[in-house]
Amino acid sequence: MAHMTSKFLLFLLLFPCISLQAQGQAERSDSTLMQEVSINGQRQRISYRLDRQRIDASQVLTAQGGTAFDVLRAVPGVVVDADGSLSFRGSQEFLVYVDGKPSPLSGTEALQMIGAASIKDIEILTTPSAKYKTDGDVGIINIVTKRSETEGWDIALNGTASTWGTLSLDTKINYRTGHHNIYIGGQGSDIHNKSDFQQKKTTASSGGSALPLKGAGGAVTSFADGTRFRDFRTFIGQGGYEFNNGWHRFNIDLQGGRTINPRGGDMMYKSLSSNSSPEGKENKPLPLGGGLEEAHDRYKLTKKLFQTAIDYTWKLNERGDEINISNRLRYDRFSEEYTESNMFDLNGARQEGTRGFETEHHWDCDGAASYKLHYRQTGTLELGYQYTTYSEEGDYRICYWDLPRQEFVWQANLYAPFYYRRQTHSEYAQMNDRIGPFQFDAGLRIDHLIDDMDLPTITSRHKRYTELYPSAHLAYTTNKAGTFTLGYSRRTNRPGIWKLEPYITYEDYHTRIIGNPDLESEYIHSMEFSWRKMFGSTQVTATIYARRRTGVVDYVRRAYEPGVTLDSIINAGNGWRKGLELQVTTKPTKWWQLTANGDLSLHNFRATYKGCTSTHNTTGSIGWINNFRLAKNTSLQFDGHFVSGHHLTQGWETAYVYFDLAARQSLLKGKLQLGVVAHDLFHTARYHSLRTSTLLSSETWVRPTYPNIVFSVSYHFRQPSAKAKEGAISKDAEFVGKDF
């Protein structure tokens, strides 16, 4: 099967009519082949194009007062874990862009930075074309923000508050005249996630294994009970200028500010010892310091960042040939990762503690140059060069609580300065064409990597290599059968320095984490087949996907000290994930739109690392989304979600359900909108997991606190100019869905 697949992909790449279309032409041809569908005048929540699916943020009422993170929760295959991190199709490895430019942050942090009220659409590219960056095994998430399309002033103001203490405020002022557009804005947000936390953890002595435990023999069982939190605080200012006269498009964008992402927990710990196995019955309390104790753990990542992006496109002729040059520079003038772990007795006296500091300066730069040739009306050829350089320089230091001296003492032997740099130089070729009902694209990307890391007191890492990344897409559309699309791309997950650092940090006093300087990249082959068809006012979409992963990167948990575990990041093995996603959207009545979606995936994992377990399991989720138009300006949404249980590399996690309810009221002819959202309406969301190994049994229960009700207000003011001028930037000229 794999051999046949390889032959088929090679055929697609070599077939002379198969081509990859640049973004501008893709928007035009896609509008003919795979146009967005409306049901009785109401836009679909999710629409599809050749290489992506697009979510209309305005149709997701449960995201009101939230962020891009909340918009994506309505997508099949998206799951949020106990720590508040988002995964898609079983992975948290994806790239995040904003209006076609890399976000200053990454992963969940990047999604939490953009308020839902400022978002027009979110695009998900699950098999990105070869012209896009290759990092992220499940692809790219591009957040398309709202842009003014009319002459004159445009002012937007959005505010949010919640029962969890979340507060946010963002504003944007835009003035457009003729060929010119100027904008300025800013946002401040403090987003909170709170949960009740319980854990039972048993560690046994190694009996002479390669990982000896400190302390006496037998087993130690610790019980934790308390609360945990995770916050996202963002303070960002933004400004920019755009020019477009039809032949020349120019955009400069500036961003600067600070992000603070703290998390932690407040726990009561009770520990029992046993001279027998972890399942032994002769348990007895440990003496003070291992009996009943109170722990407070804190983590905080602070960044002061600045980013500038410049983009210029020169249209060469009426045929549409063009040259594009772009560059983005980000600089963190200060970044600090702080960890603190404290253990007190019941009288409030500190018994143990650690404080770790990782301070660094960071900068990265992306640049690109491309030439697009329209060799015929529906066909384009694009050649380009891209580069990325990423550097960090800093140090790590830690101090421990000295009980006799009653003070923290720096550990000189654990001081670790570091330097890390990665450079990627890429060339790509892309072609796109359309022949009758068929649309094709194909491309090839060549990445040249320079990967250097120096930790003078510990180790070093120096790698040079070149890799090939092909991609191909095929679409076929008929009025009777609907639209069929087939896509393939090769992807990778390259470890950053935060996964390579070989020194121990603290998640909490009983959980420690260490990186791995020998960690290798993970490689992914992604394939996807979709079918879409309208049956009257009902749209049905089915997607089959497969993802082959080699060198899977994951954390393994093992016993480290009595009552203490160590999470190590390793290349755990190889795996397949094969899945089916279904979505049906219909309108039973004029005032009710129903969307039902679900996904079912089969995961096969073959462990190659000692301590991991090969697994074969099926997981899935179901979404039931109801949108009600109660009146002309009043809308209601009620969602129900089910997430099935699934296996981990060392255990399993149980299933759970949750429900959301949202309402929106428009006033002042749509200028003012008021919203309220009740998340986890019946308090049924809970996360229960179990990890086991030879010397460890760790069971965890996490439940979000209740209630979590979000209130939002949005005001949008437009003041048209007295006279509209010819040559104003049109919708087609927006930097929306730009090639990145």
Could you write out the DSSP letters of every residue in 46-58? EEE-SS-EEEEGG
**pLDDT for 726:** 43
The residue type found at 128 is P
Longest dimension (CA), the chain: 87
Burial profile 271-291: b = 16 or more Cβ within 10 angstroms, e = fewer: bbbbeeebebeebeebeeebb
77 SS3 class: coil
Task: Give the whole-angstrom CA distance, residue 270 versus residue 7.
Answer: 60
pLDDT of 400-424, one tens digit each?
999 999 999 999 888 989 999 999 9
Mean pLDDT of all residues in 207-227? 63
Confidence band (pLDDT; 50, 70, 90) for 278?
very low
Burial class of 68 by CB neighbour count within 10 A (0 to 12, 13 to 18, 19+)? buried
Q: Which amino acid is at 656?
A: Y
Residue 568, both tokens: 């190590």
What DSSP string describes 541-571? Answer: EEEEEEEEEEEEEEEEEEEEETTEEEEEEEE
pLDDT tens figures, 618-672: 889 999 999 999 998 999 999 999 999 877 777 888 999 999 999 999 999 889 9
% of the chain surpassing 70 pLDDT: 86
pLDDT band at 583 (very low <50, low <70, confident <90, very high): very high
Cβ–Cβ under 8 Å, residues 547 and 516: no
The rounded distance, in Å, linking the Cα atoms of 653 and 692 is: 12
Q: How many secondary structure helices (H) and strands (E) does the chain include? A: 5, 40
Better-scored residue on pLDDT, 572 or 24: 572
Lookup: tokens for 489: 């791309």
In percent, the amount of the chain with pLDDT more than 90 equals 55
What residue has token string 């830690």? 398
Lowest mean pLDDT among 75-79, 80-84, 194-198, 312-316: 80-84
Taking residue 100's Cβ as centre, other Cβ atoms within 10 Å add up to: 20
pLDDT of residue 520: 94
CA distances from 638 to 75, 310, 442, 661, 665 (A): 15, 42, 41, 5, 15
As a whole number of angstroms, the distance between CA 305 and CA 235 comes to 10
Give residue 275's pLDDT: 54
DSSP H/E element including 299: strand 292-315
pLDDT in tens, 487-502: 999 999 999 888 898 8
Residue 9 has pLDDT above 70, yes or no: no
Break the chain into its structural domains and give their ranges.
Answer: 2-298+326-733
Q: Which of 735, 717, 732, 558 is nearest to 152 (CA)?
A: 717
Pick the CATH number of 2-298+326-733 from 2.40.170.20, 1.25.40.80, 1.10.579.10, 3.90.1170.50: 2.40.170.20
Residue 53 β-bridge partners: 48, 124
Would you say the pTM of this structure is higher than 0.75? yes
SS3 category, 64: coil
Task: Render pLDDT for 670-703 as a digit per residue (tens, 0 to 9).
Answer: 899 999 999 999 999 989 988 887 778 889 999 9
Enclosing H/E stretch for 28: helix 23-33
Identify whether 470 is preceded by a cis peptide bond (ω within 30 of 0).
no
Task: Annotate 427-478 with three-state secondary structure.
Answer: EEEEEEEEECCEEEEEEEEEEEEEEEEEECCCEEEEEEEEEEEEEEEEEEEE
Q: Among 700, 451, 454, 456, which residue's Cα sits nearest to residue 567?
A: 700
Residue 441 scores a pLDDT above 50: yes
Edge-to-edge strand list for the sheet holding 140-145 = 46-48, 53-56, 119-125, 140-145, 95-98, 101-102
Distance CA 617, CA 561 (A): 32
How far is it, in rounded angstroms, from Cα 112 to Cα 233?
9
Task: Say how far apart CA 574 and CA 30 lie, in whole Å.
Answer: 36
What is the pLDDT at residue 10? 38
Which position has the token pair 């002012």? 155
**Residue range 177-211, pLDDT digits in tens:** 999 999 999 999 999 999 999 999 888 765 433 33
